[in-house]
Amino acid sequence: MKKLLILSAAILFSIVITAQTSSTSGITFENAEWSKVLAKAKAENKPIFIDISTSWCGYCKKMKTKTFTDSEVGKFYNKEFINVSFDAEKGDGIALAEKYKVNGYPTFVYLNPDGSLAEQTSGYRNAEEFIKVGQLITK
């Protein structure tokens, strides 16, 4: 019985450690109102990466499960950008999709620290391609 309890505790511990590691390996998206994101970018003098997607978009889901969770993507984007993600059909996402004339998903908007547009692109990218896009913005 004691061995079973120790084994169960060890398994539970490894599951918790794995879950914590995997949840922090990709892009960390801010969970804040748009005005606060802009203020943070100005204060930190960092560009903003905006993911504008929808809940029904297949390539949006693929970006969220494959590319955004990649550890190298996370390392680069978390260091170089203030990252935010908006659903184009809800809340601040509606106004942002309209402002940037989004007509396909996923759309990626890159803003300078002052909030001005640096670049806009759309479509699925694997991890390597997505890092290259970000590197073009930060040069």
77-105 pLDDT, tens digit each = 999 999 999 999 999 999 999 999 999 99
- Distance, in Å, from the CA atom of 41 to the CA atom of 39, rounded to the nearest integer, reads 5
> Which tokens go with 17?
């450690």
Averaged pLDDT score across all residues of the chain: 88
Task: Tell me the pLDDT tens digit for each residue of 28-48.
Answer: 999 998 999 999 999 999 999
Residue 102 CB partners (closer than 8 Å, separation 6+) = 52, 88, 96, 122
Task: Quote the pLDDT of residue 139.
Answer: 86
Contact 39, 32 (CB under 8 A): no
Q: Whole-structure pTM over 0.75, yes or no?
A: yes
DSSP reduced 3-state for 121: strand
Residue 110 CB partners (closer than 8 Å, separation 6+) = 47, 48, 49, 50, 81, 117, 118, 119, 120, 134, 137
Q: What is the largest CA-CA distance in the chain?
A: 64
More confident residue, 22 or 84: 84
Q: Give me the mean pLDDT over the 20-28 stretch.
A: 69
